[in-house]
Structure 1
Amino acid sequence: MQRGKISFGKIQLKVNKAPAEPNPNEAAKEDDAKESPETSGSGGGFKKMDKQQMIRQIEDVAEDLESQHLKEVMGISGFGRKAAKVFDINEQIEKARITRPGLDKKKEESKVEEEDKEAGEEGDVIGPLPPAAAADNDNSTKETSKGEDSDEDSSDEDSDDEQSLVKRIPYTHEVQMQHGSRAVLALAGDPSGARLVSGSIDYDMCFWDFAGMDSGMRSFRQLQPCENHPIRSLQYSVTGDMILVISGNAQAKVLDRDGFEKLECCKGDQYISDMSRTKGHVAQLTSGCWHPFNREQFLTAALDGTLRIWQGLKAKEQVQVIKTRAQGGLRTNAASCNFNRDATLIAAGCVDGSIQTWDTRKMYVNTTHCVRDAHQKGSEITSIVFSYMGQQLATRSNDETMKLWDLRQFKQPLHTWTNLFSRYDTTDCCFSPDDRILVTGESLPKGQTEANLYFYSTKSYDEVQRIPVSNSHVVKTLWHPKLNQLFVSCGNGTIKCYYDEQRSIRGAKLCVVKTHRKRQPMEMVGVSQIITPHALPLFRQEKSRTSRKRMEKARLDPVKSKRPDLPITSGQGGRVASSGGTLSSYVIRNLGLSKRVDDDQDPREAILKYAKDAAENPYWIAPAYKQTQPKAIFSEKLPGDEPATKKPKTEADK
């Protein structure tokens, strides 16, 4: 296929020249142009040139570019070549002499040459640098300076890092909430930061609403969801509309936001040896948690050696059963369990001191990670927590240690903190929202007056801060990522909230500014009274009395005070006292009899009084049988000589 040839004209850079002073380079350029053969009018195409001519043209283009840069530096030329002004150094000098007399021409020329040199050294960069480029330039200079004296600055950076970590801890202000008198074992915060729930060893569960509380810090609801079982763990779902309740019972419960029950898990058959064939747990629950992003799935662990995954609120059976195994393949119990942030791993801390994890994308037959000697054997791992980034894992145990693990190197811990005494099997630890600090509490050791809350750096492993909390044990710690507030539950039934006035938002800050207003018994309204001593009774006004006298007068009025019926002064029978003390007097008085019957006299004598009147004027029985009653035949006395009638024999006589 034949294509048409693409032709080009002669490429030249058009730059306006000053007519006052011709440039010798431009004259040479015109001579070269005359000597060089021109291109054909319509055919186009380049023709052969000498090497010297090509070199001259390239040098001319470079000189034109330098002159253009110089014009932009001097502020003469605008953007684009069409709007460029004619540049003449002599005219500029003359203008400068007029405006500033006494200026030497040599100084002006030297300044122009220096600016030209600087422009040539800097290359194409003209004018002030933009902010991003200036910042990069400053950073590059700082990096070079840091590289020269890195040894001196390393210690300063460490100290600055520790000071910045201390500033990140919100503990400048403190608020106390009273749950009860027993140890608070469970603590959970709403994801939005609006509410807090707490569970205690005395079976009570309290709801705290920050928007509705005042400075008194009283809970708005208290209930016992699991009857006579202590509350071991509480957690809000990812949407905050449901609460998972883990108690000393074998059945976990799910409550809604206001405390009404929505689900109770099934209980398994304790006579079946294979725990995977039962419908639920058969022993006491130890721990539980919600799925990170599935609002209807949660995980529970119990002393029957299993972890169970439950799905949905309608189905009351578990979806999956995970068995925890000891060193020799025997059964061991899980004391704590948790999901990682993306729900790809399930981790369990067992009673035998081992940490076992399972991948949720695979079968739960074999473990993904298993560290047998993670903690001392026989001491419970009371808490197992993943970091927010998901690469680190922290465990807290009753062997007075807390360890930090890296999931990429899971054989040995990154660091171990010791001398952390713990009495409760629900003592936990938590990460700060930026994963730079690890927080845990201690139980009150013997001979110590206050229990402390410890803050450790996850990079340098040093103790950043220590806060004395209470004269009792520290059980639960919760660092809310949205509120940036610390909630700590204690063994004496108190919950302490630590916050920073500058760095924390909402939460307890909403409550401390509100004061409790007492309800007034009545409102006193002053009314001016006109005293008219000689007014008629119809228009006479009562004298103004105080509220106390008015209340006393209304109290004496049975209608205004709504006085109930007075009790019976004598006799029995309830409300028949108005008609007499006995039932007979009540019947008599309500039969329409006009004569009053005294209750004090004998009833037989009162009735016999009317015997003669009843015989002469029958009122009850005789008129009723007047039409049907036959004539009465009474027995007559027999003469004395006649024998009595023979008594017939009965079966008893025989």
Structure 2
Amino acid sequence: MSQDNPTNAEQPVKPAESESKEEQSSDDGKGKNSEKKARVFDLTEMLELSKKTIEERGLPKPEEVNDSPSTSSGFGTFSKPEKASSDNKQAESGVSSGMEDDEDDMMVMLPPGFKPDQSVFADSSKSAEDDDDSDFDEYEGDGIPTVALIPSSMEANLSHGSKPVSALRFEPAGVRFASGGLDYMAKVFDFQKMDMSMNCDKEVMPAESHIVNDVAFSGNGDTLAVATGGAQLRLLDRKGKQWTETVRGDQYLVDLSNTKGHTAAVNAVRFHPLVKGEFLSCSDDGTLRIWRLEDYKEITKCINKHFKVIKTKTANGKRAMPQTCCYSNDGKLIAAGCDDGSIQVWKHGNFYVNTSYLVRTAHRGPITCICFSPDSKLILSRGLDDSLKLWSLSNAKKPLQEKFNLENGFKGTDCGFSPRGELVFTGTSSPNSQIPGQLLFFNTENFDLVYKIDFPGVSCTRIDWHPKLNQILVGLSDGSIKILYDEKMSVRGVIGCVKRPIKRSRREEVIKEEMVLSPLALEMFQPRREDDEEKEKYLRMKDNQLRPAFRKPADVPIDGPSANGRVKDSGSTLHSYLAKQIGTQRNKEFLEDSDVRASILRHAEDAAKNPMWIDKAYKKNQPVPIFQDKTTEDEEEEGDDEEKTTEPVFKKPRTK
């Protein structure tokens, strides 16, 4: 297009005219934008101006750019401009021209003769992805080994007590975990409150003289269920206080479905993974019972009845005692391992008469633990016959994998799957202290030993692997607890506790203040009693010491002749002294008078005229007293005569 086009020549003038009009309007006092118009840009003219600029600067034209070698980018294709002579000189000094193009505006000019260290520059042939995978270069051919998935690089030591740990379980959220032992104690460890000392947060004794067999947290962590050697389950709140318990069944009833609760020791307890408030327990009475927290009664302070009952039987139809139980991860199945070595599985529903999966001869001894795989298609079982077996729910005749010669001397030895199911783990225990306990990890596909951890002199009894924290709890027979974790793969949990400093005890730093008593706590306001059996009163001071008992307060002055059973003392005046002496003399004379009869008759006439102690209703009918006429002197004389006779009375002759 030519520049002589009249339309193109007139359009650039319009913005100037509009600007002049705006200035005039502003001078007239009107609004600045009242007559303002939108600016118009001519793309054709702008393109012509860009062509002129290219010709003046000697840059290649757009038509030539397409034919020249170029570098591509995400926004289009651009050519590399030629460098000036100064750039070529710097390139000869050791600095590449490519770096100068990118960093020309970012760096100051380097001094002449400067040579950069080439070892610090990254190799362009190596990408950033190769740097990220540098840690796994050694596994490039076979992939990442399963042993690298075990968080066992670090270890934290805790203590439950002096006796073996018999129960150990993580909270689903991973904030706390609980432990129980043969010392009848249950302890709760809170990661948020725990420091480097690794002390427990709460310590309780759920059932006196009963060992703790198992513990379980609810889905939200508000309730902790404790299974003990007793027939009742104890439910604790977050503060560690028991708020309810299950009812105890009648042990004299033959039909176990008619009893409201367990009648023997409870071996295991589990909460439903999906249904809130539902939990499962198994007992030596031969039943599994499903409970619900909504059945709690405020009047009885307990759960009065189970929701459902499941009976376990042997091949002969007799009672089989379930040693362990669990839910599947999807909550659709319930499994139990019995003392006869059988595995029995039911569908979670209304009826629990027939089993959906049954293996009568799974083990040659009692089963200590049973659990489902993450996909709920496999079952892992551990028995006292020193074996570990993997079963499929589609085949009940033969196990998929099995491992023997795994020492097991504890009835609650755990087993389980890794969070993704690549590994299975279990522990070994032996009554012989010379045989070390082991924590063993096997490959799920072929049961090959992948990794093991030895614990010299102790047995490995309880194990729990939390999938979110990626940390492993291990309970040992000496009462100690170990937490295995990895600083890179594990999150939260014990990682924050090992770096948290121990809180300093501030008892010595507290300034003791004077005890402030309220006015009613002073001695003069204390209650006064005549008896000495009044309870001692103490005031507790801030340092938990007892204040000594209050002394008996002084008697209040008497207002009037007497008060509170006390007679007012005589004063210091002469009148009061004489009155006291006269009264004392009269009392002395009265007491010294030997003729009591005469002393009484002295007031007989006044008593007859003015009876003080006889009601007027009895005045007319009051009998007249008759007194003896003899005096005291005659009686004394007769007595003297009798004393003069030496013979007894019964030997005296009769007088005619």
Alignment of 1:216 onto 2:187: no
Separation of aligned partners in 2, 1:429 and 1:416: 13
Query: 2:634 maps to what in 1?
Result: 638
User: In the TM superposition, what is the alpha-carbon distance from 1:164 to its structure 2 partner?
Assistant: 2.3
Q: Of 350, 353, 359, which aligns to 2:347?
A: 359
Separation of aligned partners in 2, 1:593 and 1:289: 81
Separation of aligned partners in 2, 1:640 and 1:340: 112
Amino acid at match of 1:352: D
Amino acid at match of 1:277: N
Structure 1 stretches of 4+ moved >3 Å: 156-161, 444-449, 520-525, 559-567, 574-579, 590-595, 611-615, 617-622, 632-636, 639-646
3-state DSSP class of the match of 2:295? Answer: coil
Separation of aligned partners in 1, 2:453 and 2:190: 26
Correspondences of 1:225-304 after superposition (within 5 Å): 225-304=206-285
Alignment of 1:443 onto 2:412: no
Alignment of 1:371 onto 2:359: yes
Q: Of 341, 344, 357, which aligns to 2:329?
A: 341
CA separation of 1:478 and 1:618: change in aligned 2, threshold 3 A: same
Separation of aligned partners in 2, 1:562 and 1:260: 24
Separation of aligned partners in 2, 1:298 and 1:560: 45
Q: Of 311, 314, 331, which aligns to 1:323?
A: 311
User: In the TM superposition, what is the alpha-carbon distance from 1:519 to its structure 2 partner?
Assistant: 2.7
CA separation of 1:560 and 1:269: change in aligned 2, threshold 3 A: closer
Separation of aligned partners in 2, 1:188 and 1:221: 15
Correspondences of 1:96-495 after superposition (within 5 Å): 160=142, 164-315=145-296, 316-361=304-349, 363-376=351-364, 379-444=365-430, 446=432, 448-495=434-481
User: In the TM superposition, what is the alpha-carbon distance from 1:342 to its structure 2 partner?
Assistant: 1.4
User: In the TM superposition, what is the alpha-carbon distance from 1:422 to its structure 2 partner?
Assistant: 1.5
Separation of aligned partners in 2, 1:639 and 1:383: 106
Query: 2:499 maps to what in 1?
Result: 513
Q: Deviations over 1:140-179 (max 9, x none)?
A: xxxxxxxxxxxxxxxx989945x62111111111111111
User: In the TM superposition, what is the alpha-carbon distance from 1:210 to its structure 2 partner?
Assistant: 0.7
The question of whether the paired residues in 1 share the 8 Å contact of 2:295 and 2:305 is answered with no
Query: 2:39 maps to what in 1?
Result: none
Q: Deviations over 1:46-85 (max 9, x none)?
A: xxxxxxxxxxxxxxxxxxxxxxxxxxxxxxxxxxxxxxxx
CA separation of 1:353 and 1:640: change in aligned 2, threshold 3 A: closer
Structure 1 vs Structure 2 CA RMSD = 4.2
Separation of aligned partners in 1, 2:545 and 2:213: 51
3-state DSSP class of the match of 1:317? Answer: coil
Query: 1:15 maps to what in 2?
Result: none
Separation of aligned partners in 2, 1:369 and 1:278: 27
Q: Deviations over 1:421-475 (max 9, x none)?
A: 1222111111110111111111146373531100111023211101113521111
Amino acid at match of 1:482: K
Separation of aligned partners in 2, 1:564 and 1:302: 49
Separation of aligned partners in 2, 1:481 and 1:210: 16
User: In the TM superposition, what is the alpha-carbon distance from 1:250 to its structure 2 partner?
Assistant: 1.1
The question of whether the paired residues in 2 share the 8 Å contact of 1:444 and 1:471 is answered with no
Query: 2:19 maps to what in 1?
Result: none
Correspondences of 1:8-157 after superposition (within 5 Å): none
Among all aligned residue pairs of Structure 1 and Structure 2, give the percentage whose two residues are the same amino acid.
34
3-state DSSP class of the match of 1:434? Answer: coil
Separation of aligned partners in 1, 2:348 and 2:544: 69
Separation of aligned partners in 2, 1:635 and 1:271: 87
The question of whether the paired residues in 2 share the 8 Å contact of 1:421 and 1:445 is answered with no
Separation of aligned partners in 2, 1:300 and 1:642: 100
CA separation of 1:359 and 1:575: change in aligned 2, threshold 3 A: same
Amino acid at match of 2:305: E
Separation of aligned partners in 2, 1:630 and 1:343: 104
CA separation of 1:238 and 1:563: change in aligned 2, threshold 3 A: closer
Aligned length: 432
The question of whether the paired residues in 2 share the 8 Å contact of 1:262 and 1:313 is answered with no
User: In the TM superposition, what is the alpha-carbon distance from 1:292 to its structure 2 partner?
Assistant: 1.4
Separation of aligned partners in 2, 1:212 and 1:515: 11
Separation of aligned partners in 2, 1:502 and 1:457: 22
Structure 2 unaligned spans of 5+: 1-61, 69-80, 83-137, 297-303, 512-540, 556-565, 572-579, 592-598, 605-629, 643-656
User: In the TM superposition, what is the alpha-carbon distance from 1:575 to its structure 2 partner?
Assistant: 5.4
Separation of aligned partners in 1, 2:205 and 2:546: 37
Farther-moved stretch of structure 1 (355-364 vs 366-375)? 355-364
Query: 2:133 maps to what in 1?
Result: none
User: TM-score of the superposition, structure 1-length normalised?
Assistant: 0.59
3-state DSSP class of the match of 1:176? Answer: strand
Separation of aligned partners in 2, 1:639 and 1:620: 23
CA separation of 1:403 and 1:635: change in aligned 2, threshold 3 A: farther
User: In the TM superposition, what is the alpha-carbon distance from 1:218 to its structure 2 partner?
Assistant: 0.5
The question of whether the paired residues in 2 share the 8 Å contact of 1:445 and 1:451 is answered with no
Amino acid at match of 2:326: N
3-state DSSP class of the match of 1:637? Answer: helix
User: TM-score of the superposition, structure 2-length normalised?
Assistant: 0.59
User: In the TM superposition, what is the alpha-carbon distance from 1:311 to its structure 2 partner?
Assistant: 2.3
CA separation of 1:358 and 1:501: change in aligned 2, threshold 3 A: same
